[in-house]
Structure 1
Amino acid sequence: MHAPRPGSPHARQPGPAARAAILEAHALLYGGKPGLLGDDALAERERLRQESYAAARRQGLLPLRSDD
């Protein structure tokens, strides 16, 4: 068993996409706009679930060649 390593002095900074997601989450959590309720919230949750499912199972496209 090894001793725990100290934290890296060069902590990684979030990239642009992560920073945008963090800012969006912060705005949704602490902003003045009300969140989704009822059927709208359920529909958004289902949309995000389907989007995540499709992204996890996305297949690449194979180029079709014709030897004409």
Structure 2
Amino acid sequence: MQQKMNGCFLSIVIYLLLLSQHSLFEITNHTRVVICLVLYYFSSVYIRSFDAFYKKKIKVFA
């Protein structure tokens, strides 16, 4: 449960610091798009690897 809360907190902090219209840092829209794409890429890799690990772990217990 704690790991889910940390991920949610981290995504909110990244949004507020970098991606929102009133962010603390002044960055261009192009940079925001690049940041969003990089975050999407790494989060999708993380989700896919977690899914593969979870399926492998379930097969071991079954």
Fold-level similarity (TM above 0.5) = no
TM-score, length-scaled by structure 1 = 0.39
Larger radius of gyration: 1
Q: Looking at both structures, which has the greater relative contact order when contacts are Cα pairs under 8 Å and sequence separation is at least 6?
A: 2
TM-score, length-scaled by structure 2 = 0.42
Structure with greater helix share of residues: 2
